[in-house]
Structure 1
Amino acid sequence: MPWFVIYTQARNEKKVALRLENIGIEVYCPLVTQIRQWSDRKKKVETPLISSYVFVNVTENEREKVFQVPGVVRYLFWLGKPAVIRNEEIEALKDSLKEAVFKTEITSLKPGSPISIPHGPFQGKLGTVSQVNKNSVKIILQEMGILITLIKHESA
């Protein structure tokens, strides 16, 4: 069965994934652990790797079943057809998330510069630097049609 990409309401990825599993649909919501800073503490939080997207493994006949779940907005389309993700790509994403996260130093990047992602789930993907801040870099991955933010984290 092919994997399809579902667009969800903002900040509903984990809830949608759980609800889809509850109705018997195979779902994958890639999560990463981040350290978030509050005024009084630091906390590890699991957040979706790709905001507002969840992958589902359904047959063509079962595709409409996902709309029974609150929070599902639509399927992602590519060239007028629902975007299909190969099983190998999902497995590669799962494998890359199992690896330890490496600390990456951001040096002398300028908006418009091409960059290859050195580590993590998007390792080897080519992108273009969109914005450089003190502790983060925004990179556009044209091939996937997404914007990612690499954030420098201090140890917890």
Structure 2
Amino acid sequence: MNWYVLYVKPKSEKKVAETLRTMGVEVYCPLVKEIRKWSDRKKTVESPLFKSYVFVRLKDRERQMVFGVHGVVRYLFWLGKPAIVKDEEIRAIEQWLNDDAVENITLTKLIPGDELYLKNGILKDHKAIIHEVGKKRIRLIIPGLGMVLNAKIRDVV
């Protein structure tokens, strides 16, 4: 049995996960607690760490059964095959989310125009502006040094 990544309709991750669970499918939908503010109150809510994604553990021949669930769009593919997530990667996400030392979790995309501060290396503590983001490379502008930095992005999986 393998862990597969399901792409689901936006804001339906928890409902899809619960429906699949009732069908007997092993599901993992990592949730993080967030404080949402309204004009009259604050509330702690659980929202998915990965927007529009749910992990399911199935045998290859059982993969079609998920399409009977409202909200399921498709499987995530990698190199023409359904993407498979390793058990240790799922455990690592679970451990990280259950770690009391981790207080505030957010998942963001790198967007051109965003500013960031470099934390490590020879350019530590310099401000950089994201100029371009590719699949394997990123281009940063470092105004304080009048430089453009081209970097290869390392696979973290």
TM-score, structure 1 as length reference: 0.69
Aligned-pair identity (%):
49
Task: Specify the alignment match of 2:80 in structure 1.
Answer: 80
In structure 1, what is the equivalent of residue 145 of structure 2?
none
For 1:129 and 1:97, the matched residues in 2 are separated by 31
CA RMSD in angstroms comes to 2.8
The question of whether the paired residues in 2 share the 8 Å contact of 1:25 and 1:57 is answered with yes
Match of 1:110 in 2: 128
Q: 2:84, 2:67 → 1: CA distance?
A: 18
3-state DSSP class of the match of 1:110?
A: strand
The match for 1:121 is none
Q: Secondary structure of 1:111's partner? A: strand
CA distance in 2, matches of 1:19, 1:79: 29
- CA shift digits 1:132-152 (9 cap, x unpaired): xxxxxxxxx9857xxxxxxxx
Q: Aligned to 2:128, what secondary structure does the other structure show?
A: coil
* 2:82 partner letter: P
| Shift in Å, 1:129 | 9.9
Task: State which structure, 1 or 2, has the greater radius of gyration over its C-alpha atoms.
Answer: 2
- C-alpha displacement at 1:38, in angstroms? 0.5
Structure 2 letter corresponding to 1:28: Y
Structure 2 equivalent of residue 13 of structure 1? 13
Superposed, 1:62-141 pairs within 5 Å as 62-100=62-100, 101-102=102-103, 108=117, 109-112=127-130
Question: Aligned AA for 2:65?
Answer: K
Q: Per-residue CA shift, 1:76-101, capped at 9, x if unaligned?
A: 00000000000000001000000133
Q: List runs of 5+ in structure 2 lacking aligned partners.
A: 106-114, 118-126, 132-136, 141-152
Aligned partners of 1:10, 1:129: CA distance in 2, in Å?
A: 30
Q: Which residue number in structure 2 is paired with residue 44 of structure 1?
A: 44
Asked if 1 retains the 8 angstrom alpha-carbon contact of 2:17 and 2:54, the reply is yes
Whichever residue aligns with residue 129 of structure 2, its letter is P
Task: Name the TM-score, length of structure 2 as normaliser.
Answer: 0.68
Q: How many residues are treated as equivalent by the alignment?
A: 120
2:73 is the alignment partner of 1:55: no
